[in-house]
Structure 1
């Protein structure tokens, strides 16, 4: 399964995918997931991680306040089309994808979110969970639709919240789980595909727990 990863930051999720699916670990024809490209809306460490692994990269710059969102999505659509991926993975990508992109990849774009959706959608999920006083939060892998963190859920894993937690401490604990969950969800999709029944998404014979 060919995948393009979109990222905007340090690329730790991307690195987890590279580490797990790199051909060196599987052989060039045996890896279930092939990262064929990595894109961003800015120069960032994620691009350097990709380049270090020999993965092609691209940037579609987005300048808040000056970039036309529809035109930007068209440019992103064109860039993705050059790779013709089976799946697009938004891994810490800080842009909302518009209908121009969603039309080409309906049901084939997945995202990670640092909360147990539908609770605490949006960019401040970790802080919102702490402010609300929940005792458990977690990580969600879901399909992207036209809303914000509203797409069908593929996999979730819980993370405890402690009384002494700060946002940064809790977020790091979630990220550890998030990396494992994304890797194993992608592997399950590559092996079994996704079935959709309305809002319910299912990976047949889904195995989203780390292998022993």
Structure 2
């Protein structure tokens, strides 16, 4: 069974990225991490990639006049490394370029630290905690041109009812993200996901 070739986009510390690296090293994730791309030159994820011998590139948004030009530069780099599946882990920018989204339709996934459609956007944990929800969690979904609105692949609920701070709730959710994301990436090497409207179903390889 061939490894799935993945490219990871990250803007920050890269803890979810590290969970993928660890999963590949342990043999739990049947994937080949071809490269890491960040839009942030200070992202810790870049160093994590270098520390693990993974090609790392910073493609800064500020160096491009238009958002679509930035997206296009990323798409070309992914194509250069023959990436099959694009994984967004804490990537803080919307992908809006139509060619990028069309070329990788059904092959871009994002992990969001809330149970969508509740609490989309960049402050999901804070919004959920401040709202007072007892159950939060994370969502892995396909990426389209909406804000955290693509079809849902997988969700896991996390009890945060006893968490006293936003940081405590975030850490509890993140711990489970580090289990779920590698599992879903591995599943792409063993089958395929079929999108039927808002529904997603999984078909294992024969």
Common fold: TM-score over 0.5: yes
Aligned to 2:94: 96
Aligned to 1:79: 77
How is 1:1-212 mapped onto 2 (pairs within 5 angstroms)?
A: 1-22=4-25, 25-26=26-27, 32-43=30-41, 44-63=43-62, 67-98=65-96, 99-204=98-203
Cα displacement string for residues 165-190 of structure 1 (whole angstroms, at most 9, x for unaligned residues): 21111111111111111011111121
Deviates more, 1:79-88 or 1:140-149: 79-88
**2: CA distance, partners of 1:2 / 1:75:** 19
Deviates more, 1:111-120 or 1:67-76: 67-76
Q: Which secondary structure state, in structure 2, belongs to the residue aligned with residue 204 of structure 1?
A: strand
Q: Retained in 1: the 8 A contact 2:133–2:161?
A: no
**2: CA distance, partners of 1:200 / 1:193:** 14
Aligned length, in residue pairs: 199
Deviates more, 1:13-22 or 1:125-134: 125-134
Q: Which secondary structure state, in structure 2, belongs to the residue aligned with residue 127 of structure 1?
A: helix
Output the TM-score relative to the length of structure 1: 0.88
Once the 2 structures are TM-superposed, how far is the Cα of residue 89 of structure 1 from its aligned partner?
0.1
Q: Retained in 2: the 8 A contact 1:70–1:100?
A: no
Q: Retained in 1: the 8 A contact 2:10–2:90?
A: yes
Once the 2 structures are TM-superposed, how far is the Cα of residue 31 of structure 1 from its aligned partner?
6.0
Unaligned 5+ segments in structure 2 are: none
Write 1 or 2 for the structure with the bigger share of strand.
2
Unaligned 5+ segments in structure 1 are: 206-212
**1: CA distance, partners of 2:93 / 2:54:** 22
Q: Retained in 1: the 8 A contact 2:7–2:36?
A: yes
Once the 2 structures are TM-superposed, how far is the Cα of residue 84 of structure 1 from its aligned partner?
1.9
Once the 2 structures are TM-superposed, how far is the Cα of residue 163 of structure 1 from its aligned partner?
4.8
**Aligned CA-pair RMSD:** 1.8
Following TM superposition, the consecutive aligned residue runs of length 4 or more in structure 1 with deviations greater than 6 angstroms are none
